[in-house]
Structure 1
Amino acid sequence: MRLANFLFFTTRCEEALAFYSRCGLGRIIELKRYGADGVPVGDEAFRGKIAYARFAGPDIEFYASDNHDAEPMRGSAHYLTTDDREETDRIFGCLSEGGTVTTQIAVQPWGGYYGKLTDRFGVQWMIECRSIG
């Protein structure tokens, strides 16, 4: 058994995935568009938008699409762990561009180097460095 997140965007999926690639999280490894690749178009406004994408990088994999009934992403977050504090700071800084930091990245009361944010696309991220030495 394996669990993976599937992110639904209204019309900004391609922009979000390009942003995540720029932040160094990975890249699109599979992509299908509405009106192409055998995917029908139910709404002409979605022609060319992403019907299905698989995004992957080292130890990261999730799926995403544009969806006419996408809801704000609440109640879950991507929890990303690293082993390098500088890499943690870099990723946190990149993902927070245009977003909202809800917990500043810092050593927390439980001892973890951790921060939480909602990125510019409404996706929540929890980022923690497992090694803060």
Structure 2
Amino acid sequence: MQLSNYLFFTVHCEAALAFYTECGFGKVVSMSRHGDNGMPVRAEAMRGKVMHAQFAGPGVNFYASDNDDAEPMRGSAMIFMIDDLARTEQLFRRLAEGGNITTPFGVQPWGSYYGKLTDKFGVQWMLNCTEQA
């Protein structure tokens, strides 16, 4: 058994996945679009948008799609557990571009470096690093 997260966007899935690729998480390993190869189109505005995509990289695997009836992302966050402080700081800064930092990255009472943010696509991210400076 494996648990993976599924991110729902309304129309920005492809841009979000490109951004996550630029951040260095991994890459899209499969993608299908609304209306391609007999895939159904519930609303014409969704034609060509991402119906289902898998994103993977070292230690990363999640799925995503565009859905015109998607609810805004809330009540869930993607969390990275990392043991490289420089990499964690770099990733936090990159994800924060155009987004909103809710917990600034820094040492927390439990001893780890940690920060939380919502990226420009509305996805919440938590980054926790156990490496000590």
User: Could you tell me how far apart the structure 1 residues matched to 2:57 and 2:37 are?
Assistant: 24
**RMSD of the TM alignment (CA)?**
0.8
Deviation (angstroms), 1:38: 3.1
Match of 2:83 in 1: 83
Q: Return closer, same or farther for 1:35/1:109 CA change in 2, 3 Å cut-off.
A: same
Query: Match of 1:113, as an amino acid?
Result: Y
- Structure 1 segment 9-88 matched on structure 2, within 5 A: 9-88=9-88
State the Cα deviation string for residues 34-63 of structure 1 (Å, max 9, x = none). Answer: 110331111110110000000001000000
Q: Identity of aligned pairs, percent?
A: 57
Q: Is the 8 A contact 2:111 2:130 kept in 1?
A: no
Match of 2:3 in 1: 3
Give TM-score scaled by structure 2 length.
0.97
Runs of 4+ aligned structure 1 residues displaced above 6 Å come to none
Q: Identify unmatched segments of 5+ residues in structure 2.
A: none
User: Could you tell me how far apart the structure 2 residues matched to 1:29 and 1:102 are?
Assistant: 31
In the alignment of these two chains, the number of paired residues is 133
State the Cα deviation string for residues 67-94 of structure 1 (Å, max 9, x = none). Answer: 0111111111001011110000110000
Give TM-score scaled by structure 1 length.
0.97
Query: Match of 1:105, as an amino acid?
Result: F
